[in-house]
Amino acid sequence: MTSLTQERPEKFRIGRVFSNSFAVIGRNLGFLAVVVGLFSTLPALLYNLWNLSRVATMVNVRVGGNAFETSAMESYSAVSVIASLIIFVLALLVQAALVRGAIEDLNGKRPVIGDCIQIALRSFFPTLGIGILVIITLVVAVFVMVFISWLIPPVGWLIGLALALIPAFVWLISVSVSVPIAVQERLGVFGSISRSRTLTKGSRWSIFWLLLIICVAAMLIQAVFSLFFGLAIASTGGITGAGIIVGAIGSSLVSTIFSTMLSVTVAVAYVELRQVKEGTSVDELAEIFS
């Protein structure tokens, strides 16, 4: 492995970020298999197996003409919420670990699993705080948009889009490298957000297209998988045991691939922004961890 060139790039380039992201992933498949596999893929797989088995039960009950008990539905909802929270927390830990791993790799070193997990645990509360703020922002923006749509039909959704959802997405793009900053520079929740807004200024359109490409690719992959899975269900007349296993594995892999690519790309984008705006070398970025 070789470290990135120390020459200061003239501007943030999507192609370079993608190239470096794929290179990082390609050089660290074993590291990713352990970290992402244990803390992301495995929990998602267990949840998807449980979720699909419950869905299959509900479908079979309805087909049989019986009503699904209210208590069972409440239990299903409660477990789903708890499982989603656990997966969310683990996803933040994985992202923090991948930030450490990506910077180590770009510095010409081999990421150490224990070291990356230790750094992730050390920065857990700042990354959790950033994650919660992101979710709150999206929820509030959607709520405001829906409320305005209800208040001023039929053009309310356009007003809500302009006043709530678009500003929320603009803010989210501006704070897109907050987690790498929290891990790398240890500035806390609001310090990392403020620092991210400074770093991303002037490059936000490029970051927008970068994230959009990843999200669109993920949605296309998910759509293709859902289509084939839906056709398989239709041909068999329901969700079979084999269908549950295939569906759970497929969904887990799709979500894992997307989250891994997104986490590594955000980490590489952070390094790119530091180099473009400040001329900071990867060696200097790695010093804080020595």
> Any residues with CB less than 8 A from the CB of 19 and at least 6 apart, and which?
none
Encode pLDDT of 101-125 as tens digits. Answer: 998 898 888 899 999 999 999 999 9
Q: Please determine, for residue 141, whether its predicted confidence score (pLDDT) is greater than 70.
A: yes
Q: Give 63's pLDDT tier (boundaries 50, 70, 90).
A: very low
Check pLDDT > 70 for residue 284. no
Segments making up each domain of the chain, as ranges: 14-122+202-287
Alpha-carbon gap, residue 195 to 126, rounded angstroms: 13
pTM: 0.83
Measured CA to CA, the distance from residue 145 to residue 125 in angstroms comes to: 30
Lowest mean pLDDT among 15-29, 162-176, 220-234: 220-234
The model's pLDDT over 159-190, given as tens digits with 9 standing for 90+, comes to 888 888 899 999 999 999 999 999 888 899 99
Q: Region 3-14: what's the mean pLDDT?
A: 66
CB 12 within 8 A of CB 277: no
Look up residue 263 and give its two tokens.
Answer: 């986490």
How many other β-carbons are positioned within 10 Å of the β-carbon of residue 161? 15
Mean residue pLDDT of the chain comes to 84
User: In this predicted structure, what is the pLDDT of residue 25?
Assistant: 93
Q: What is the mean predicted confidence (pLDDT) over 77-104?
A: 87
More confident residue, 74 or 81: 81
In single-letter form, the type of residue at position 161 comes to: L
